[in-house]
């Protein structure tokens, strides 16, 4: 069994998607100078952290592209730090992995919307589902779409992703998280109910 356990599949996936290759473990000299540590961290830095992130990502890549995209859209940071030093740099850039997941889900969502389907409206709705702050009326105004069209697209896309509570149908998100939870639980990296 693995020594490092996460509270949930979301925590594990979030860690793997947020782990930076720029994180390095302390040198032996730095550890000696610091002295004994009573910290309660998971020790997920350096090679240990990279290995754990790689293990989790490997399990994610075994899922369908749809499920992988949902996990990345929900758990990956939207932006990553940038230290290019350019005058125009805001210190962060869009996370290519998150942007790719949103693009994949936007294309896949076309099948959920009846009639004319506006790509940029669907993309804004998908981004909204996954944490970008905006209202449906703002989306309608920005993309010159009727508010009813935007509302109908939003309902269809949300039902596809989040399921239908009235009928009890599971959405793609619930299925994706259940799939990765089974895989990570099988590896022994999720805390069991009695250990949580």
pLDDT tens for the chain, 196 residues: list them: 446 789 999 999 999 999 864 444 444 444 455 455 443 344 455 567 788 899 999 999 999 999 999 999 999 999 988 877 787 778 888 999 999 999 999 999 998 877 767 899 999 999 999 999 999 999 999 999 999 999 999 999 999 999 998 999 999 999 999 999 999 999 889 987 554 4
Residue among 75, 44, 104, 79 at smallest CA distance from 180: 75
Model's pTM, two decimal places?
0.82
Residue 143 phi, psi dihedral angles, 5° rounding: -110, 15
Other residues' Cβ atoms within 10 Å of the Cβ of residue 59: 21
């Amino acid at each position: 069994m693995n020594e490092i356990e996460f509270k949930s599949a979301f925590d594990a996936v979030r860690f793997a998607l947020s782990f930076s290759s720029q994180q390095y473990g302390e040198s032996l000299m730095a550890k000696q100078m610091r002295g004994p540590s009573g910290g309660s961290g998971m020790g997920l830095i350096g090679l240990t952290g990279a290995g754990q992130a790689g293990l989790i990502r490997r399990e994610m890549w075994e899922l369908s592209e749809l499920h992988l995209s949902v996990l990345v859209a929900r758990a990956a940071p939207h932006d990553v730090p940038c230290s290019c030093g350019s005058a125009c740099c805001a210190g962060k850039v869009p996370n290519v992995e998150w942007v790719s997941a949103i693009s994949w889900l936007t294309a896949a969502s076309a099948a959920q919307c009846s009639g004319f389907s506006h790509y940029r409206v669907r993309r804004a709705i998908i981004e909204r589902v996954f944490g970008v702050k905006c209202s449906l009326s703002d989306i309608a105004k920005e993309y010159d779409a009727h508010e009813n069209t935007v509302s109908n697209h939003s309902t269809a896309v949300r039902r596809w992703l989040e399921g239908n509570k009235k009928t009890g149908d599971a959405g793609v998100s619930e299925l994706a998280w259940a799939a990765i939870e089974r895989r990570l639980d099988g590896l022994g990296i999720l805390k069991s109910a009695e250990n949580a």
